[in-house]
């Protein structure tokens, strides 16, 4: 064995403690697999005295994470502070400038500053590992970057947020409403006190931007992701979906089309029985479609100390082997920006729910408008329950463009008998 790889960890929350734990428990094995001893030499966090379930006795302590970076006994920095800017960004820049590679679980940081940081890393002859930033313990960064290196990726999509998937799964299983299930998820620790980043799709979008960069050789473009969270997913739509053989999932989808790069994080319906539809509860999954390999699916736990630390450990091993490639696989100068594809250009099938007055002729009006816009109906559920009162009409369409769909829904909304803005949800993963 050659000289050890000495790690400094900045940020000692659940994941930071998990990384210390994994190196204590499996450090010898990890070192053997990496062909080089791996040791933690220094740590930094806000509160030295907090009980983290791991002893920090033999580790050098820094109150200031940038001082940790400067420690000559730190060869590489593990950044687990979080946040797209502030101290995490400062620290990462400082480490790279000092010629020290960075391993991070920080998807926000890389989604927003990925290209800049990749350039900085390259200029200083180091790189950034972020397996832990996307889909927790699933080695999907490695799969896209290396395992599928021979493929032109056609699309990459997945269930990228365990909190949302847990909420949607529980809503379906219990028939309860979003707010109710969210409150329970918060009590159980599956959702944060401030759940915005998760349930509004931001966290998934951060991850999607990174997956897209890896898959398509472009700089991450977070601002180009169309984002909608799960706040407006109703128990009613979940029940109708089940009836139609569909499941609602919060999907992140990136796809290269003739119109550019399509990126969206939105609730979508997938057919029951497809592998992605079976990913339930806190589990994540990523599907990569390559021109040679066809469809591959990778699933596992997307969060938690163990899975996330497992991903950090994989990057550490690669770093020790000097096998960690450039941040987005290609050198920064070879990354090509792909213009975003407008979602109006999207082609696919749709689920539509209308709340209408239960009286004769409504369906005829809706069908006529659909026909006039070349939107073809695939299936329809209409339940008369309260003559003269609000009832749902639910339908699915054959493939159409989203622009046409939005257009026809505006016309439908204008009908007297239609009481609420129509609900539109994409069907499928394209």
Q: Please, which residue, 291 or 372, has the CB nearer to a copy of itself?
A: 291
Q: Please report how close the Cβ of residue 238 comes to a copy of itself at its closest, in angstroms.
A: 18
Q: Give whole-number Cα distances, 205 to 8, 120, 250, in Å.
A: 29, 24, 11
Least distance to a copy of itself, CB of residue 204, Å:
19
Q: Which is nearer to a copy of itself, 266 or 429 (CB)?
A: 429
Question: Closest CB to a copy of itself among 322 and 420?
Answer: 322
> In the bound complex, what is the minimum distance in angstroms from residue 26's beta carbon to a copy of itself?
6
Q: Which is nearer to a copy of itself, 260 or 326 (CB)?
A: 326
Q: Which CB, 330 or 390, lies closer to a copy of itself?
A: 330
List the catalytic residue out of 207, 249, 256, 271. Answer: 207
Please state, as a whole number, how many other Cβ atoms lie within 10 Å of the Cβ of residue 154.
16
The binding site for a copy of itself (CB under 8 A) comprises: 18, 22, 25-26, 29-30, 32-35, 131, 137-139, 142-143, 145-152, 217, 273, 275, 278-279, 290-301, 306-307, 309-314, 316-318, 321-323, 325-326, 329-331, 334
Shortest CB 193 distance to a copy of itself, Å: 25
Q: Is 207 considered catalytic here?
A: yes
Whole-number minimum distance, CB 16 to a copy of itself, in Å? 14
How far apart (Å, rounded) are the C-alpha atoms in residues 136 and 114?
18
* HEC assignment per residue over the chain: CEEEEEEEEECCCHHHHHHHHHHHHHHHHHHHHHCEEEEEEEEECCCCCCCCCCCCCCCEEECCHHHHHHCCCCCEEEECCCCCCHHHHHHHHHHHHCCCCEEECCHHHHHHHHHHHHHHHHHCCCCEECHHHCCCCCCHHHHHHHHCCCCCEEEEEEECCHHHHHHHHHHHHHCCCHHHHHHHHHHHCCCCCCCHHHHCCHHHHHHHHHHHHHHHCCCCCHHHCEECCCCCCCHHHHHHHHHCCEEEEEEEEEEEECCEEEEEEEEEEEEECEHHHHCCCCEEEEEEEECCCEEEEEEEECCCHHHHHHHHHHHHHHHHCCCCCCCECECHHHCCCCCECCHHHCEEEEEEEEEEECCCCHHHHHHHHHHHCCCCEEEEEECCCCCCCEEEEEEEECCEEHHHHHHHHHHHHCCCCECCCCEEEEECCC
CB of 270 to a copy of itself, least distance (A): 13
Quote the CA–CA distance of 233 and 287 in Å, as a whole number.
23
Identify which of residues 30 and 409 has a Cβ nearer to a copy of itself in the complex: 30
Smaller CB distance to a copy of itself: residue 38 or 375?
Answer: 38
Alpha carbon 120 to its chain centroid, in Å, reads: 25
Residue 216 C-beta: closest distance to a copy of itself, Å? 11
Which residues are catalytically annotated?
Answer: 207
């Amino acid at each position: 064995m050659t000289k050890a790889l000495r790690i400094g960890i900045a940020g000692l929350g659940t994941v930071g403690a998990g990384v210390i734990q994994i190196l204590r428990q499996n450090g010898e094995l990890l070192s053997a697999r990496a062909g080089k001893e791996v040791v933690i030499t220094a740590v930094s966090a806000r509160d030295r005295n907090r009980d983290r379930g791991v002893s920090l006795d033999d580790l050098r302590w820094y109150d200031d994470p940038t001082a940790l970076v400067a420690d000559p006994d730190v060869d590489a920095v593990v950044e687990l502070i979080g946040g797209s800017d502030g101290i995490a960004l400062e620290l990462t820049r400082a480490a790279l400038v000092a010629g020290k590679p960075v391993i991070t679980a920080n998807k926000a940081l890389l989604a927003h500053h990925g290209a800049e940081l990749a350039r900085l890393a390259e200029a200083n002859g180091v790189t950034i590992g972020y397996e832990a930033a996307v889909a927790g313990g699933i080695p999907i960064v490695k799969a896209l970057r290396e395992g599928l290196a021979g493929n032109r990726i056609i699309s990459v999509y997945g269930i990228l947020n365990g909190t949302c998937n847990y909420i949607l799964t529980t809503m379906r299983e219990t028939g309860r409403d979003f707010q109710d299930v969210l409150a329970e998820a918060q009590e159980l620790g599956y959702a944060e006190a401030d759940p915005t980043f998760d349930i509004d799709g931001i966290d998934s979008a951060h991850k999607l931007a990174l997956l897209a960069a890896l898959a398509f050789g472009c700089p991450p473009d977070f601002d180009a992701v169309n984002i909608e969270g799960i706040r407006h997913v109703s128990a009613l739509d979940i029940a109708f979906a089940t009836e139609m053989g569909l499941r609602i999932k919060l999907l992140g989808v990136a796809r290269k089309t003739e119109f550019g790069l399509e990126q969206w994080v939105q609730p979508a319906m997938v057919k029951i029985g497809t592998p992605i539809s079976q990913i339930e509860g806190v589990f994540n999954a990523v599907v990569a479609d390559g021109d040679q390999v066809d469809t591959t699916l990778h699933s596992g736990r997307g969060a938690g100390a163990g899975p996330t630390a497992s991903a950090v450990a994989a990057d550490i091993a690669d770093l020790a082997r000097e096998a960690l490639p450039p941040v987005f696989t290609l050198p920064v100068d070879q990354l090509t920006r792909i213009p975003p594809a407008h979602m109006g250009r999207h082609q696919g099938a749709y689920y539509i729910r209308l709340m209408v007055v239960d009286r004769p002729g409504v369906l005829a009006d809706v069908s006529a408008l659909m026909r006039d816009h070349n939107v073809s109906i695939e299936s329809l559920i209409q339940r008369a329950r309260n003559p003269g009162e609000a009832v749902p009409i639910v339908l699915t369409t054959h493939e159409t463009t989203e622009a046409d769909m939005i257009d026809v829904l505006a016309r439908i909304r204008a009908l007297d008998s239609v009481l609420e803005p129509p609900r539109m949800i994409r069907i499928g993963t394209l």
